[in-house]
Amino acid sequence: MPSFDQHITQAKVNLNFLQESNILKGYWDWQITISFYTALHIVNAHLAKTLNFQYSTHVKTKNAIAPESLSPARLDNETYTSYVALQNLSKRSRYLCNHKNTTAADQAFFTNEKHLSKAIKHLDVIMEYAKKKYKTKFNEISINNIHLKQSNVVNFNVSDL
């Protein structure tokens, strides 16, 4: 099982890749997916630290970190909600589905820059959790996104180029 530090290292690699892919303009789906897998590594680092264990499925991970669970790895409501929202955005990006609209089975739900801004905000919440709980340090990542310009993200240097 990877250690806390190994998961954090991979999260940092993913953040650098997110910054590099953002330069290409577009590819919102991939940037959202990178954001989710960055968050997943942060959550897995948390699981490694609190349980010395890593779950093999997204469902088991989500259950272990749910605020209402009895697990010592449970997260606060805000962090958990951000993780679930980011996971749903990633599913939309990868499978063109919308968890809020299950009746439109024949419709494709694409992602755009506004969805990326939501993903970045959720990732920022998860990163802040790790910084506060474990004193984890992340380099500030540059992101171009007009929808983030007025937001209060802490771990991202936002421009609207």
DSSP 148: G
DSSP conformational letter for 2: -
How many domains does the chain divide into? 1
Coil vs helix vs strand at 157: strand
pLDDT in tens, 131-157: 999 999 999 999 999 999 888 999 999
Encoded amino acid at 24, one letter: L
The string of pLDDT tens digits covering residues 28-87 is 999 999 999 999 999 999 999 999 998 999 999 999 999 999 999 999 999 999 999 999
How far apart CA 159 and CA 66 sit, in angstroms, is 34
Give the residue numbers spanning the domain of 133. 4-159
The CATH number of the domain holding residue 57 is 1.20.120
Residue 73 in tokens:
């790895």
What's CA 103's distance to the chain center, in Å?
26
Determine which of 18-27, 41-50, 102-111 has the lowest per-residue pLDDT on average.
Answer: 102-111
